[in-house]
Amino acid sequence: MIGAAMTFSRLLATLVVLLGALLVPAHAQTADTTLSPLVDALAPGSFKDRETAIAALVATEDLRVVPLLQTLADGDLYVGKTDAKVVFITGSGATLGRIDPVTAAELGEVPKADLEKVKVNNGLRRVIRTAIGQLTLLSDDPATRRSAAQSILRDADPANLELLDSGISAEADPAILQVMQTARAVLTLKTDATLEDKTAALPLVSAIGGRDALTLLTAALANAPDELKPAIQASIDGLARDRAVWDAAQNVWYGISLGSVLLLAAIGLAITFGVMGVINMAHGEMVMLGAYTTFVVQETIRRYSPELFDYSLAIALPLAFLITALIGIAIERGIIRWLYGRALETLLATWGISLILQQSVRSIFGPTNRLVGNPSWMSGSFDLGGLSITWSRLWIVIFALVVFVTLLLVLKRTALGLQMRAVTQNRRMASAMGIRTPFVDAMTFGLGSGVAGLAGVALSQIDNVSPNLGQGYIIDSFMVVVFGGVGNLWGTFVGALTLGIANKFLEPYVGAVLGKILILVLIILFIQRRPRGLFALKGRSVEA
């Protein structure tokens, strides 16, 4: 898929070159013979030399430079090992087609070994971004102008001030104009412009808001004239105050997000442990199996129909549920049903199962991490006010809530749920009423395991998929269930969120390590106060 995209981008680049050469003669056009040596100068020497070469190319103001630089930034520009000629390449495999970046002429195919990539690093990518911004700020296409203005704003190089001024005078689109003016204000703060200019620029910069404005103003503070310093400082303070409020909100969000992960990991356990009384140490491995199911689904999709990749999780969810539920039922029928009433011995047996499952996965899939990708709708983040929220976390929070509510409904509104609760509250009585307790047991364990499998699909998006995945969550899950109160889904819900938020509020003050220790100690102490957890089941039903 990536390969296809790259070939496509190359094709596009070639087209742009052709268009640039044919259709935009109005723009500065350098003779091919002048441009070619400048292009070839990109390859030799160090990154510093390459930077100089780029500057020379930019100075020509030739639009053919834009696709060239873009290709370089993408790491797709090659140079011949013998003829030292810089070329675009087409195709893939052992031999590659070459295209002259200047004339767009085909240069014939050569073995891959004869070509070498023109190296690019972060510094160069930044230089290229600015260069492309400079070259395209006066472009006819509004979208291009807009991104050019944005890249100039990001790089904030005072040398671009003149260019920006000419851009502003020609700009008609108010949105782009605003970006340009903001960029101008940012640049002005960096130059030794007059005090009035700088004072006028200040509100514009502050208006960017958030962390970016803070960065710019803090940098500006250092070389600002003394008269301006109090004003800048005031803006910084104002922004910092906003930031503090947003940071607190952000922390709550992180807490909710961590809590939702804990909830997902623990909720299956709340059923097997909380409802059935089975201390299921293999719970973590069910989560792991769910994650590996996702891996297998994604692998299959990658191999046979890459276009379905964005639906991989939707396919993985029911599969993971089914697989782990079936394994859960098998474990219940094969082992656990012999151990009812010996809660502590289920702990040992399921621990043994967890070791076997772990080692099996290690034998089948290997001990190393497996690649599980984010579908596009789970990648990246968006801003909500001063909050930065990542899509993957948001979806996991939503998913956790959906799973929780569904489980509540299953337990409260379905026949199976009714039977489960009946068996939980009084097994003998339920049996006497004609409920097939063995069936209910198997279904309950299957449900708990299946939910763990669902959690695995979600966790594969944020954690590594390795045989050790489950181990990392099992202790936390038990803490959540015990803290929340056994036998009560709401307890697990509140427990998970409380622990998540408490953890996130401790972390900035005492660090992640000490924070975790403190949480554990607090749980231990809490259990002393309330030996049955936050939401203890009350009433005769639990009296043994």
Partner 1 sequence: MTLVNRTLAGLGLGVAMTIGAIAVPAFAQDETIKVGVLHSLSGTMAISETTLKDTMLFLIDEQNKKGGLLGKQLEAAVVDPASDWPLFAEKARELIEVNDVVAVFGGWTSSSRKAVLPVFEELNSILFYPVQYEGEESQRNVFYTGAAPNQQAIPAVDYLMENEGVERWVLAGTDYVYPQTTNKILEQYLKDKGVAAEDIMINYTPFGHSDWQTIVTDIKNFGSAGKKTAVVSTINGDANVPFYKELANQGIKAEDIPVVAFSVGEEELAGFDTTPLVGHLAAWNYFQSVDTPENAAFIAAWQAFMNNPDKVTNDPMEAHVIGFNLWVQAVEKAGTTDTDAVLDAIIGLETPNLTGGIATMLPNHHITKPVLIGEIQADGQFEVVSESDLVPGDAWSDFLPESKVIEADWTAPISCGNYNTETKSCGGSTAVAAQ
Partner 2 sequence: MLTQALFRALDKKAIWLVAILIAVAVLVPASNLLLPNGHPLRLPNYAVPLFGKYLTFAMLALALDLVWGYCGILSLGHGAFFAIGGYAMGMYLMRQIGNRGVYANPILPDFMVFLNWKELPWYWYGFDNFWFAMLMVMLVPALLAFVFGFLAFRSRVTGVYLSIITQAMTYALLLAFFRNDMGFGGNNGLTDFKEILGAPISADTTRAALFAASAIALALAILVCSMVVNSKLGKVMIAVRDAESRTRFLGYRVEYVKLFAFVVSAVIAGIAGALYVPQVGIINPGEFEPSNSIEVVIWTAVGGRGTIIGPIIGAILVNVGKSYFTGAFPEFWLFALGALFVVTTLFLPKGIVGLIGQYRSLTTRREQHDRSAPAAPSPAEVESSADPQPKPAE
Are 38 and 101 in contact by the 8 Å Cβ rule? The answer is no
Three-state DSSP class for residue 97: strand
Binding mask 311-330 for partner 2 (x = CB under 8 A): --------------------
Q: With CB under 8 A as the contact rule, which of the stretches 108-116, 291-299, 353-361, 382-390 interacts with partner 2?
A: 353-361
Residues in 278-307 that interact with partner 1 by CB under 8 A: none
Are 481 and 266 in contact by the 8 Å Cβ rule? The answer is yes
Are 315 and 301 in contact by the 8 Å Cβ rule? The answer is yes
Binding mask 50-79 for partner 1 (x = CB under 8 A): -------------------------x----
Q: Would you mind telling me the total number of residues written for the chain in this entry? A: 544
Phi-psi region of 247 (alpha: psi -120 to 50; beta: other; left: phi over 0): alpha
352 counts as binding partner 2 under rule CB under 8 A: yes
129 counts as binding partner 1 under rule CB under 8 A: yes
90 counts as binding partner 1 under rule CB under 8 A: no
DSSP string, 108-145: EEEEGGGEEEPP--HHHHHHHHHHHHHHHTT-S-HHHH
Considering the complex, state which of residue 1 and residue 26 has its C-beta at the smaller distance from partner 1. 1
367 counts as binding partner 1 under rule CB under 8 A: yes
CA 16 – CA 23 distance, rounded (Å): 10
Q: With CB under 8 A as the contact rule, which of the stretches 96-104, 248-256, 294-302, 525-533 interacts with partner 2?
A: 525-533
Residue-wise burial string across 175-209, b where 16 or more C-beta atoms lie within 10 A, e elsewhere: ebbebbbbbbbbbbbbeebeeeebbebbebbbebb
Neighbours of 143 (CB within 10 A): 9
The sheet that has 95-99: what strands, in order across it? 106-111, 95-99, 86-90, 78-80, 115-117
Are 80 and 114 in contact by the 8 Å Cβ rule? The answer is yes
Q: Give which of partner 2, partner 1, none residue 542 binds (C-beta under 5 to 8 Å, depending on kind).
A: partner 2
State the nearest-atom distance from the C-beta of 525 to partner 1, in Å.
21
By C-alpha distance, which of 190, 184, 239 is closest to 214?
239
In the numeric block, the tokens 């554990």 are attached to: 520
- Token reading at 90: 């087409």
Q: How many CA atoms lie within 13 A of 32 on its CB side?
A: 8
Are 101 and 17 in contact by the 8 Å Cβ rule? The answer is yes
The single residue among 91, 345, 371, 510 that binds partner 2, judged by CB under 8 A, is 345
Q: Give which of partner 1, partner 2, none residue 421 binds (C-beta under 5 to 8 Å, depending on kind).
A: none
By C-alpha distance, which of 377, 190, 358, 179 is closest to 282?
358
CA 63 – CA 174 distance, rounded (Å): 25
Are 350 and 336 in contact by the 8 Å Cβ rule? The answer is yes
Q: Give which of partner 2, partner 1, none residue 67 binds (C-beta under 5 to 8 Å, depending on kind).
A: none
**Total binding residues for partner 1 by CB under 8 A?**
68
Q: Where are the alpha helices (DSSP H) in 24-117?
A: 32-40, 47-59, 65-73
State the nearest-atom distance from the C-beta of 481 to partner 2, in Å.
8
Considering the complex, state which of residue 213 and residue 287 has its C-beta at the smaller distance from partner 2. 287
The single residue among 341, 415, 432, 434 that binds partner 2, judged by CB under 8 A, is 341
The single residue among 360, 368, 406, 414 that binds partner 1, judged by CB under 8 A, is 368
Q: What residue type is 362 in one-letter code?
A: R
Provide the β-strand partners of residue 465.
370
Considering the complex, state which of residue 187 and residue 372 has its C-beta at the smaller distance from partner 1. 372
Burial of 138 (0-12, 13-18, 19+ CB in 10 A): middle
State the nearest-atom distance from the C-beta of 340 to partner 2, in Å.
5
Binding mask 90-129 for partner 2 (x = CB under 8 A): ----------------------------------------
Are 469 and 360 in contact by the 8 Å Cβ rule? The answer is no
The single residue among 7, 36, 90, 218 that binds partner 1, judged by CB under 8 A, is 218
318 counts as binding partner 1 under rule CB under 8 A: no
Q: What are phi and psi of 389, to 5 degrees?
A: -120, 125
The single residue among 81, 211, 241, 342 that binds partner 2, judged by CB under 8 A, is 342
Considering the complex, state which of residue 392 and residue 477 has its C-beta at the smaller distance from partner 2. 477
Measured over all CA atoms, what is the biggest interatomic distance in the chain, rounded to whole angstroms? 96
The single residue among 309, 340, 391, 505 that binds partner 2, judged by CB under 8 A, is 340
Considering the complex, state which of residue 101 and residue 487 has its C-beta at the smaller distance from partner 2. 487
426 counts as binding partner 2 under rule CB under 8 A: yes
Residues in 379-408 that interact with partner 1 by CB under 8 A: 379-381, 388, 390-393
The single residue among 440, 482, 496, 502 that binds partner 2, judged by CB under 8 A, is 482
The single residue among 428, 432, 434, 540 that binds partner 2, judged by CB under 8 A, is 428
511 counts as binding partner 1 under rule CB under 8 A: yes
Q: With CB under 8 A as the contact rule, which of the stretches 64-72, 102-110, 358-366, 398-406 interacts with partner 1?
A: 358-366
Q: Give which of partner 1, partner 2, none residue 424 binds (C-beta under 5 to 8 Å, depending on kind).
A: partner 2
Residues in 434-493 that interact with partner 1 by CB under 8 A: 461-468, 471-472
For partner 2, the binding residues (CB under 8 A) are 273, 276-279, 281, 335, 338-349, 351-356, 358-360, 363, 424, 426-428, 475, 478-479, 482, 486-487, 513-514, 516-517, 520-521, 523-525, 527-529, 531-533, 541-544
Binding site for partner 1 (CB under 8 A): 2, 47, 75, 116-117, 119, 121-123, 125-126, 129, 211-212, 214-222, 243, 247, 250-251, 254, 257-258, 261, 359, 362, 366-374, 379-381, 388, 390-393, 461-468, 471-472, 503-504, 507-508, 511-513, 516
